[in-house]
Amino acid sequence: MPGRITSKELIRIFKNKIPSSCTVVSDSFRSYHQLMKELNVKWMKIPSGKKEKEGYTLSRVNGLHSAIKYFVRTYRGVSDKYLKHYIAIFKYRRQLFRMTFRDKIDMTFKHLMLHKCNIKYKDIRGRNSADDIYAITSE
């Protein structure tokens, strides 16, 4: 499916996923017009060349998009087929980065309890971060 996404494709993706009580903020991409009519939501359209409208901006979305692109760039041969997996790793690492050390320990402990695995001290000695535990438990 090369090229820009169409209104029909957007409707198929977002129908029944965005409640009509929501306000959707987007750029002025033409395919959004039909989508917003179909969804029956309040639409705050940021005009081309503008950064904000009535206090609404796209900076958060653009920042997230930039961070995901930067993250995926570190992998070679990224396949669309596995994009969900890359996004899951991105979300996990972002969450882990924002956690305190105590929260990382708690999360690791919960993971260990859920998976009922046996880990010995020698298996984890010298490991630096909580995400290494997942590699050990899957071995």
pTM of full prediction above 0.75: no
For residue 138, name the pLDDT band (cuts at 50, 70, 90). low
Segment 46-70 mean pLDDT: 89
pLDDT at residue 121 greater than cutoff 70: no
Query: What does each C-alpha distance from 94 to 19, 27, 53, 89 come to in angstroms?
Result: 27, 26, 29, 8
Entry field: residues in the chain: 139
pLDDT at residue 137 greater than cutoff 60: no
pLDDT of residue 117: 61
| Per-residue pLDDT reduced to its tens digit, 83-97 | 888 888 898 888 888
pLDDT at residue 119 greater than cutoff 90: no
pLDDT at residue 125 greater than cutoff 80: no
